[in-house]
Structure 1
C-alpha cells in the first residue's frame, strides 16, 4: 500500500532524524542519518546534503535511495523508495531548507557542521507504512484544526482599519491570542546599524521587554530577519531558550541590555518576517511550551499578518511624516516639583534615569533631544515632521522608521513607570509628559 506524502507531513518536521540507505555499484550498502527530509509535493521530497559524501557517491552510481521517516507525534514509520531527480544549490527550495537548518544550528551551536551544501530532489516511487504500534492521538489532535485563514483575513482587515501605528500592533497581538490561541508572542524590529533586533511589543510574558535585543542571524527570530523567510521549529527539547542567544552580547554590554522576554523551556517556535516591498521591516514571533504547537497553516497565518502589519506601519509612517501639529499651548508656570537626573551617553545614545538604564540607540537619542529642548525653552510638544528635518538627530532612512522607534520609546517608558512618559495627542504629534523637574547630563564618547 502506497501512502500519499501529504498524509504524513509530520514526518517532515525534522523532530526525529531520518535514515537513508544506499548501495554502491558493487552492491555494498551504506546507512547514514539525515538532518532534513523536506516535503516538496505529493511526488517529491528533498534531502539535505551536508556531509555524507559516501551516500552522494552511491546515489551518483545508482540513482536510488531508501529513506525511513518517522512521525514525531506518533512514532509511526514510513519507508520511501526514491529515485534521484536533480541537485539544487540555489533557489527558493534551497533557501528555505538552508534557513531552517541555520535556525536549528544557531540554537544548538552547530553552525559549522550543519551548513547546507545542496538540496537533493528525489521522486518518491512508493511510500509504504512500516508495521508497528504508533501512538493513537486524541481526536482533536488527530485532525487538522481546520482552515483558519478566514480568521487571519479578518484580523488583517482590522489591522488595516487602524490609523494609529501603536493601535495596529496592539490589535495584532490581541488578535493572535483571541483568534488563534497564541499565548506568547512578540513583535521585533531591526536595528540595522547594530545588526540586532529590538522587541517592540509582546503579549503573554511576565515582563513586557520593550527594547530587549537579540542578534541578527541567530535563532528563529534572527534567521527569519536575515533571510526573509518564516522559520518553524516543532520540538526544541534539546535546544536552548531564545534569550540565550543574547547572553554573550549582554556580558559585553552589562548595564545596557534589557532581558528578552521568553519561555524558560519553549518546545515550539515560529518566526515570520514582516515584508513590505521585498524588505524585512520586522519579525512576528510566537512560541509555546508544547511540541508541535505550530503547523504549516500557522506559518501561513503569521506570514500573512506580518505582511499586513508591515504595510500598515509603512503607511502610518508616511502619513505621520506629513502631519502638522496645532500650535502648542504655552508652557504652564513652573511649580515646585521633585527633581530627577537623566544621563545621556553619546557613544551609544543610552539613557539612564536616576542611575537606571532606560534605552539606547535611536530611541535614546530622541528622548535626550526631547528633554534637551524642554530644558531650553519649556517645550513639551514635537512633531514627526520637525524631528525628521532635524539633521542633528542623524535619523536613519524610512525603512528603519521613526514611528516604530517612538512606539518603542513610549512602551519602554510606560513599562518603567518612571517620571518621563510620551503621549500621542494627535497623528504625527509627540507630547513629553513629566512627573518632576529633569536635569540632563550628556557624557561625551
Structure 2
C-alpha cells in the first residue's frame, strides 16, 4: 500500500527591516590640559617671555588677589613619599655619601652607618622593623618600633658630608630634612620632613626649570609658580596632618608633585632654586604670597594649559570646574597666552569616547549620537546630549572636572564630536 502525501508549497516573505548601525566610538577634538582654575602654566610662561613680572602673571590669573608678603617661620612640612595603596610593602633606604643615623620615636639613637650600609624597612603588627645590610649581609636587626627617623649628614639635623637618600619605590631622592617612617595601611609609610619655604619648594617638579634660563626667557613664570606652590603648602600645613597619610601633603598630583633632589639637582635645577630664592626676603624674614580679598592666604590652584581660543576661551570659574562656592580670585579670565606659548603640546588633541563609556556615562543602551550642547564661560563642556537608535534622549550637565573625569580626557575644552565606525 502506497500512501501519497500532498505538500503545500509556500513562498517565504520578510518585512522590510531598518538596521541602525551605531558607532563603535566617537573622536572628540579638544584643547588644553588640567582642571582650568587659576594659573595656566603655559600661559604664565608666555607672559614671562613677553615681559610680564611674576606679580603681573599672578594678578592676571587670580583677579582681585594681591601679591604680598608673610612672615617666614622656617617651619617644616611633612610630605608622604611612600606608603600609598599601590606602593611596595617593603623598602630600602640608601645614602649616596656621608653618614646616617637611625632614631626611634623618642629620638634615641638605634644605629649608625655610612653610605656602604643600607637600611631595609618592613612592617609588622607591632610597627616598622629595620635590617642594616652591607654587601648583602645583615649586620644588625632593629625590632619593631612605632616610629623610626632617618637623619644624615649635610642637613640641618647633622653637619658633615652631604648625601642624598634614595627610598626604593619612591619617585624622588632626598637631600634635605629627614625621613619619618611609620606603619600605616599595612605598609611602611615614609614621610620627608623638610623646611617649607626653601627645602620643600626646591624639590617641586611642577614647571620645567629650563623655562627660567636666558634661552627660554621664562624666569618670572618660575617665580610665580614658586609663590602659588608656597600658598598651596601653607594652607595644607594649616589644616594639619591628614589621617590617610600621616602627612600634610602627598608627593603627587593629589597635592603637588615633589621629587626632592631629583628636581633640585636635575637639569637647570639651580635656575629653579634661584626662582624660589627670588620669592624669599631673608633679610626681612618674609616670603612672597598671594592674598585673597579678605587678606588671607589665597587658595591658588594651577594647571597646565587652557584652550586655544575661540570656543576654547580661557580659564574656569572654580564653581564651574569643581562645583565649589565661588571665589572672586578664581574667576574666569581670558587666556590667549597658553596657545601662544612655544612648545605647548596641549594646544590641540583628540580623544576617543567609546560606545561602552558613552553607555555608562549616559546610562543608556546603545548610543547613536553624542553632542556638546552647552559650555561654560571658559569654553569647557557643561552639557552633553546622547540619543539612542530608538530616539531616547538623555542630556547631562556636569562640572568641567566631572566631564574630564568621566570621559578620561586630559582636559574638558572639547569641540566637535565625530562618529567613527
For the superposition of Structure 1 and Structure 2, which TM-score range results when normalised by the shorter chain? under 0.3
Select the structure with the greater relative contact order (CA < 8 A; seq sep ≥ 6): 2
Provide the TM-score with structure 1 as the length reference.
Answer: 0.17
Greater per-residue helix proportion = 1
Q: Which one has a bigger Cα radius of gyration?
A: 2
TM-score with structure 2 length normalisation? 0.18
